[in-house]
Structure 1
Amino acid sequence: MANFRTPAAPVTVQDAASASGGAFLVSELEKRDPKIREPLTSLTYARDIPITVGGGWVENVSALNITYAVSGSSVSGPAMAAGANGVPLVQANLGKDMFKTHMFGVGLRVSFVDMARSNFIGRSLDQMLTKGVRMAYDKHMDVNVYKGLSEFGTTGLLNDGGAVVSNVAATGTGSSTNWSKKTPQQILDDVNKALTDAWGAAEYDTTAVPNHILLPYEQYNYILTTKVTDLATETILDFLLKNNVASKNGGNLTIAPTRWCKSAGVGSVDRMAVYINDERFLKAEELVSLTRAMTQPNATNLCYDTGYVANLSEVEVFYPQTLRYYDGI
């Protein structure tokens, strides 16, 4: 009698493989890229302003300033004749500027089950979410430094109410103010006028030579890549850094791009900001740096909750006359 055998069912990747005694998983046939791609963003605040740390959970920050005066003015008042029976007196007037602070706070929640599952893939869910907290903090600081928080009535580097706002000269092709329509010399004239105006407002104090210029990325990339002439090897940026008023007077000028200058001017035109990047003239404060304040288990939601907090100041401008804006570039 013939011995008939039932045909075997086809083996799929989910079925057990008799040769190994195990099972192939669908995921094992994938090539997994271990790199986790985080969101793209631009964070430049730490480059463009001094950040000081410390101070605690205060509600305001104060800064003292002083002005001096001599009876009869410092020009003719101290001039004395022989036999004079009196001398003019020096007087001091102390003032105090107040700056607002605000608290930054964000929570992190890790599900117990998700945390247990993450052990199988060799990644820390807590670590990934912590990076998200840091990114949220840095993006908050970027807005706080450049624009301020309008909800709390604060301003930043690019919209300070005490800064002088001007338009650059309309010397370009067709009386344009745009740098793309100007020659390298005309762009240099705009830069030098801005530097001279800001320095002159500080009575040409040798410690108050402007050293920082902020531009939108479009204008920065234009001067970075455009040659002074068709036959030259020098770009417009090289030309500006070599021939500006600040460098010629012993300073060290930085010209840097930031996305916040785009449409920051009056009428939503592009803005150039000129100032002195030095703690004596302006700064922002991390009164309490970003801190992992507390972590506790949450039995109701089967998770661990963590709170992060910081205490931050608004941008503090101590010499408003040295901060200048030039629109229309």
Structure 2
Amino acid sequence: MFAFDTQQALGFLVSQTASIEAQVYEIQYPDIQYPALLPVDTSANPWAKSVTFFSTDKVGQADWFNHQAKDIPLADVERAQHDRPIEMAAIGYRYTLQELGQAMMVPGTNLSADRAAAAVRAYEEFMDGLALRGVPPNGVVKGWTGLINDPNVTAGLVLNDGSGASTLWADKTPDQILRDINALLTGVYQGSLTVEMADTLLLPVARFTALADTPRSGFSDTTILEYLRRNNTYTAITGAPLTIRAVRGLENAGAGNAARMVAYRRDPQVVRLHLPMPHQFLAPSPSGPLTFDVPGIFRTGGVEIRRPKAFRYGDGI
């Protein structure tokens, strides 16, 4: 007869968790969007209450000056302090004494990593929602916004010169669609007095797919998307490729739940996701007479757009 007690079961679970964690943290989830969309900053102390940063803006303009004058034009730097709170969230998994006992009966048996993988998946989905909209899937609101809905970013409707005075790309010609996109990119450049240039364009999945499927014209074997990659304001000025991505959640991110496109510069000086403590599992512990929990915790400050002029939203597409 095989006998065991709670301490043996706990010791068995502890011995298994290191291997389980190594497996699940190596899993890549291709439909998790945020790591490719913005820089993730893990540099802060994991237990910090907040992250402090300073934004600066240069003021002053050179002007003509008489050598006998005393009111020389002066330049200065305006500096503002900002504090970003860091909050904790959690997701773990559980085993029962019966499950551990059955696994211990067969020497060399390893516990499945499925539950740990499910916990990590839940963490990634939480962070994805937080990064994009500031609201994770569970809907608990902290008053944060995200990459696609920051109120400090300039947003506006695209031109309503489609058929029937429509703003929708479905009612526009390829030329009009390309015009809308380049107007958004140019808006970042001009709106920042040529300081900022958007190197990334985010599109709703359906709009991205339509651009990839629709010919540039009736006489072309090039799609609108292929043409756009070669012919856009950013590439024309810098010679560098424009990053274009399809992103879930943009279908109703605009004003009045309209579809939205986003142009921005993907740079940690412009935008970052604060994640001082990425998800980690803690040591297993008994949580009841017959249950053992493996807690998982993480701490984040959400998305911080430091330079809103390097962003622009285009709605109604």
Matched residues, number: 283
- Structure 1: gaps (5+ residues): 1-39
Cα gap change, 1:109 to 1:200, in 2 (>3 Å): same
Question: Where in structure 2 are the equivalents of 1:238-277 lying within 5 Å?
Answer: 238-250=226-238, 251-277=240-266
TM-score w.r.t. length of structure 1:
0.79
Q: Is residue 278 of structure 2 the alignment partner of residue 289 of structure 1? A: yes
Q: Distance in 1 between matches of 2:207 and 2:308?
A: 25
**Quick one: structure 1 residues 269 and 82, their matched pair in 2 at CA, closer, same or farther if it must change by over 3 Å?**
closer
Q: 2:100 aligns with which of 99, 104, 115?
A: 115
Whichever residue aligns with residue 178 of structure 1, its letter is: L
Q: CA deviation at 1:124?
A: 4.9
Match of residue 172 from structure 1: 162
SS in 2 for 1:256: strand
Counterpart among 173, 184, 189 of residue 199 in structure 1: 189
1:45 alignment counterpart:
34
Distance 1:86 1:261, change over 3 A: closer
Q: SS of 2:54's equivalent? A: strand
Pick from 48, 51, 62 the counterpart of residue 75 of structure 1: 62
Cα offset, 1:169, TM superposition: 0.8
CA gap of 1:167–1:85, structure 2 versus 1, over 3 A, is closer
Counterpart contact for 1:118–1:124, Cα < 8 Å: yes
| CA distance in 1 between partners of 2:167 and 2:313 (Å) | 14
Match of 1:129 in 2: 115
Counterpart selection for 2:305 from 317, 321, 324: 317
Q: Give the RMSD, CA atoms, in angstroms.
A: 2.4
Distance 1:123 1:176 in 2: 63
Q: CA distance change for structure 1 residues 85 and 159 in 2, over 3 Å: closer, same or farther?
A: closer
Counterpart AA for 2:290: L
Larger radius of gyration: 1
Kept in 2, the 8 Å contact 1:110–1:126? The answer is: no
Per-residue deviation, 1:297: 3.4
- Under a length normalisation based on structure 2, what TM-score does the superposition of the two structures give? 0.82
State the partner residue of 1:97: 82
Distance 1:246 1:110, change over 3 A: same
Q: Offset at 1:88?
A: 4.8
Q: In the superposition, relative to structure 1, how do residues 323 and 112 fare at CA in structure 2: closer, same or farther (>3 Å)?
A: same
> Quick check: 309-318 or 174-183, which moved more?
174-183
| Secondary structure in structure 1 of the residue aligned to 2:92 | strand
| Deviation at residue 58 of structure 1 after TM alignment | 1.5
Q: Partners of 2:179 and 2:208 in 1: how far apart?
A: 16
Q: CA deviation at 1:138?
A: 0.5
Question: Which residue of structure 2 lines up, in the alignment, with residue 143 of structure 1?
Answer: 129
Using the TM superposition, give the Cα deviation of residue 81 of structure 1 relative to its aligned residue in structure 2, in angstroms. 2.7
How many percent of aligned residue pairs carry the same amino acid?
25
State the Cα deviation string for residues 239-268 of structure 1 (Å, max 9, x = none): 111111001011421111111101111111
Structure 2 unaligned runs (5+)? 1-28
